[in-house]
Amino acid sequence: MQNSYVYILHCSDDTYYTGVTGNVYKRFDEHQDGKYFGSYTFDRRPVQLVYYSHFTDIELAIVFEKKIKKWSRAKKLALIEGRYEDLPNLAKKNFKK
């Protein structure tokens, strides 16, 4: 059984970054330290860990991460704030063509 985590970071430019990892605190430190030059969070530091969820199946974690990435900002905020009853009624992110 492999522990996995889906996490959301609040970035300094008021955007959210969603990722998946096996060690949420180590990965947070990597984001905060700017370990990966050119990554989404590199120029958006400092970041704040605002949400994480534990999974025992990496495949389920990846599916959930991909789902969150398609969500609107309002829906992500509802998840972060624990307003689970609001999630079904919030729109998906609209991508411009």
Instruction: Look up the pTM and report it.
Output: 0.91
Contact between 16 and 8 under an 8 Å Cβ cutoff? The reply is yes
CA dist., res. 44 & res. 88, Å (int): 30
Question: Per residue in 24-80, pLDDT tens?
Answer: 999 999 999 999 999 999 999 999 999 999 999 999 999 999 999 999 999 999 999
pLDDT level of residue 95 (50, 70, 90 thresholds)? low
Is position 39 within any domain?
yes
Residue 12, domain CATH: 3.40.1440.10
Helices (H), the chain: 24-33, 58-69, 73-80
CA-wise closest residue to 77 among 58, 54, 50, 52 = 50
Domain that holds residue 67: 4-71
